[in-house]
Structure 1
Amino acid sequence: MSLPPAPLPLDDEYNISSEESTSLKRVIRIQDDNELKEHLLSVQAEAYAVYPYACIRRFDFAKFKIAKHPAYESVIKLGKERENAIFLDLPCCDYWTIGHKLFKTTPETFPVPFLQGDIFDPSFLQPGVPALDTSSQVINSPPSLTDLTSLTPLQHSISAIYTSSFFHLFGEDEQFKLAHLFASLLSPLPGSIIFGSHNGISDTEGDNLGRTRLTTRGNSVFGHSPTSWKELWTGKSGPFNPEQVSVQVEVKRVERKDTARVFNLEQPYIAYRHIWSVTRRQV
């Protein structure tokens, strides 16, 4: 289905469940429902002005998607049990300062290191660095996070990488490059994981590997199927071999009611969400 290329406008739809509202009240320390709504609407408008992503219009920034990911509990366990474990959330685009506004924090009250850069910029993340074969090659002393100016010093040192709604922003070649760049950052220790979600297609669509073009708001973008997504990571040209990692992909059929509502579509607008993980095995 081809949609007009113009950004979808913000409207009065306030898409926050009671469960999400309760959690947000506790985290943000706002108890009044109307005050919370006004706060989220203000943050939404500011973020949408940076770039009108549909996920911002749907209030995805206020939903705890990561906590519902199948790999979440294992990531929490990894963080508790592995010494000097490093977690990377990539990307946050230009929304870091707006994130502070959302959660009413400051760099002092939430002193998590933040690096701004283009992942395709060689000065920010060195390309061509292969994933390590075994955990015997692990770097024992990762660099100090407070002194970093790029991601390159973290190659082979990160225990868990989370990326959401990112891969589907790029074409096939760029997604291939991203997989190799992400793999270069991952620690070779068993259990180290890259996980996230993005838009794709089912295995019944596309070419013989399930690849196809998706049409979103009039723009043609590349979409992987579960089959081609696994091939991306462990295929002939992938950054890992099948013995090194386990690749899990779940496809969730999602009805985008906001898109159908804004464009007055008579038929439901259906998207396919890939929920996936790439986990280092014991080698």
Structure 2
Amino acid sequence: MEVRVRGDRMALDLAEDFSRFKVVMCDRTATSFASHQLSLEPSLTLADKDTAWVSLSWLRTTGPADTHWQTGLDQMVAKAAPHGWISADGSAVKAHLEWAEVAPQVSDSFRLAMRRLAATPCLITTMSAGRRHGMAATSVTSLSFDPPSILVCVNAQASIHDPLRAEGRFCANLMGGNHDALLGAFSGELKGEARFSLGDWQVQANLPYLPDAQANIFCSVAEKWRYGTHSIFVGQVESVRTDGELDPMVYLDGRKGRFAAV
């Protein structure tokens, strides 16, 4: 029996084979283990990098709806219990964990390819419990015009990640060619509130925004989900401010520059 995990979805495979039980991470690697701990709870909880707890109620609900299969599951549980593979409260069974393998050359080539994708960096900002949080991101793109919406991808380890999930609102500040120092500050040179010591930051609708940015896109989070190391936030646009002068910062191959028409 296998529980196959792709993204944030779980599916039961080989349900009739009770001789083995494992969880297969189809698109997640062990090297990014720490970022996968919360997206599948309570159906699946990682015990360590080699094993995971699978909810028995999820198995009973997902498996074949016949008494023969339920009896087979009960027998598997009975065999696992003496070996410590059933949780103390009897709600979960432990399974071996198999991580996806990504060839290093694919990962390296993909990283190199993405460095050739020119983009305007954005400063993503939010406010939580009276504290400002922000990060620099190039993984920001338009999603639809009806309704107006954008996608923002945030690493689960970023300091803004949990405040953004909790508050459900953010501002995407599109950076201009004069924002060199801000890009460094929001990319790790400064931490926390110190990042906002640079720039003339103001607040609108309880969100920090940069008035001289190329544009300020104020959003509420309409949907969110996890994939790999990142959370993907769908921001439904509430309001927009734009600067009169067209002078976006352009980020390419780890370097920043300015746009010039050909």
Range class of TM-score, shorter chain: under 0.3
TM-score (norm 1): 0.26
Which of structures 1 and 2 has the bigger CA Rg? Answer: 2
Which structure has more strand as a fraction of its residues? Answer: 2
TM-score (norm 2): 0.27
